[in-house]
């Protein structure tokens, strides 16, 4: 059952919308604490930005907690893990919608906070409905999944680097 179950879970996660997988961020599926696995690439890095998912006109830092509650949170990191070498100028990030699990942890991040960033995987190429390629991971940077351990808060969160997955809207 083990390998078949893991393949089922992996396939299910690729079919879920970007915000769906975050429900397991604090669940038993993710071991808490810093990871030191050889099979999962992790780096120690720093948070570079924490902003509401949808910025409103005139909104600027510091952002009120209501702004994160209304639209969600985007955290960007000082690492290109999972993005390079295909997207050499891109940085890893996680996007959560309002109400997603661990938004409070993400919203509490500050630029300069030390975190462990782990790359959980990227999208596979897919066939599109109206185009030859639905997802081309060489030209579409969306759909990379990350897990973050915040050393100071001693909490974790997981999510995708964009609001839509590769080949999506």
Q: Among candidates 121, 110, 124, 125, which has minimal Cα distance to 160?
A: 121
Whether 16 shows a pLDDT value over 80: the answer reads: no
Report if residue 168 sits inside a domain: no
Q: Residue 129, SS3?
A: coil
* Bond preceding residue 62 cis, omega within 30 of 0: yes
Q: Is 83 domain-assigned?
A: yes
In a domain, 167, yes or no: no
68-116 pLDDT per residue, tens: 888 999 999 999 999 999 999 999 999 999 989 999 999 999 999 999 9
Nearest to 140 by CA among 90, 97, 96, 75: 90
Output the six-digit token pair for 112.
């300069």
166 part of a folded domain: no
Question: Which residue is associated with the tokens 């038993």?
Answer: 28
Which residue did the predictor score with more confidence, 6 or 86?
Answer: 86
- Is residue 104 assigned to a domain? yes
Boundaries of domain holding 116:
2-160
Residue 28: inside a domain, yes or no?
A: yes
Nearest partner of 61 among 115, 107, 114, judged by Cα: 107
pLDDT in tens, 26-74: 444 788 899 999 899 999 999 999 999 988 777 777 888 888 888 999 9
Question: How many domains does the chain contain in total?
Answer: 1
Residue 138 counted as domain residue? yes
- The arithmetic mean of pLDDT across residues 141-162, rounded, is 96
């Amino acid at each position: 059952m083990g390998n078949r179950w893991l393949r089922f879970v992996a396939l299910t996660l690729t079919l879920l919308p970007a915000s769906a997988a975050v429900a397991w961020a604090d669940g038993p599926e993710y071991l808490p604490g810093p990871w030191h696995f050889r099979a999962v690439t992790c780096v120690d890095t720093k948070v570079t930005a924490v902003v509401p998912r949808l910025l409103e006109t005139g909104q600027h830092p510091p952002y009120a907690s209501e702004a994160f509650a209304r639209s969600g949170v985007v955290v960007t990191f000082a690492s290109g893990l999972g993005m390079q070498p295909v997207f050499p100028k891109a940085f890893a990030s996680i996007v959560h919608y309002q109400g997603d699990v661990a938004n409070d942890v993400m919203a509490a991040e500050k630029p300069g906070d030390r975190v462990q960033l782990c790359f959980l995987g990227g999208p596979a190429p897919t066939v599109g409905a109206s185009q030859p390629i639905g997802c081309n991971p060489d030209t579409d940077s969306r759909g990379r999944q990350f897990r973050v351990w915040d050393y100071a808060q001693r909490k974790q969160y997981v999510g995708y680097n964009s609001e839509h997955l590769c080949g999506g809207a």
